[in-house]
Amino acid sequence: MVGTTPILLSDVNLATLLRLADVDPEAPAEAQGAATLEARIRLEVQYRSLEASGTVFRLELDVAAVQEALVERAGGRDLLGSLLEPAGLSWSDVEQLAVRSAAARAFVEQRLRPRVSISMEEIEAAYRSIVVDHWDPSLEPPPPLLELKDQLHRLVVERKLNDEIERWIEQSREQIEVTVYRPRPAPTVPLAAAPATARELPATGDDWTSGSP
């Protein structure tokens, strides 16, 4: 539950189909499920924060492009379409998740990224810690800073941007109550006849029992 918005089992199933979280396919099913649930909660926190502040209405969203990227990540329109109905989901559900993802991405690119500034001192520090400190002394001297400057600049920007994103989510979670419920144990069933790469999900039905996060 994010604020007054429930995160149902069907929401988690959709997030799994769309591979919303980057999970290790070799990880235990429980760990994969926990990572997917956390990713879906984070997205809802981001969206509800933007909605509550009215910021979402002042952003330029490209929902179509985000939805297309999500569908491709899920294996393409044909495969995803064959999995939605057996899971009790529809293309409307995909679009609603795409709206949330598009809003979060737009805020990051249009509001957070412009705040990030990088100094030459930070680039030099990254050069020392990433290149020099790990360079094998038996080899030729490492490439000069000037040669790697652009790459290091991009790396430091992304690191600082990630820090901004985590700060935003942390602040949003302080304002929006998040309550996590654990699902009752249930056998897994295949969503549909699909290639072996298609992931099996728990049986649909939004029945959750209270538990600790």
Host H or E run for residue 181: strand 181-183
pLDDT tens-digit map of 100-138 = 999 999 999 999 999 999 999 999 999 999 999 999 988
Q: What are phi and psi of 19, to 5 degrees?
A: 55, 50
Host H or E run for residue 120: helix 120-126
DSSP class of 62? -
pLDDT tens-digit map of 83-106 = 999 999 999 999 999 999 999 999
Model pLDDT, residue 70: 97
Confidence grade of residue 199 (pLDDT, cut at 50, 70, 90): very low
Confidence grade of residue 195 (pLDDT, cut at 50, 70, 90): very low
Please state, for a pLDDT cut of 70, what percent of the chain lies above it.
85
DSSP class of 179? -
- Find where tokens 């680039």 sit: 123
- Residues whose CB is less than 8 angstroms from the CB of residue 138 and which lie 6 or more positions away in sequence, other chains included: none
Alpha carbon distance, N-terminus to C-terminus of the chain: 11
Model pLDDT, residue 100: 97
- Residues whose CB is less than 8 angstroms from the CB of residue 192 and which lie 6 or more positions away in sequence, other chains included: 82, 83, 85, 86, 198
Model pLDDT, residue 1: 87
Tell me the pTM. 0.79
Distance CA 120, CA 113 (A): 18
Q: For helices 91-107 and 9-17, what crossing angle results, to 10°?
A: 80
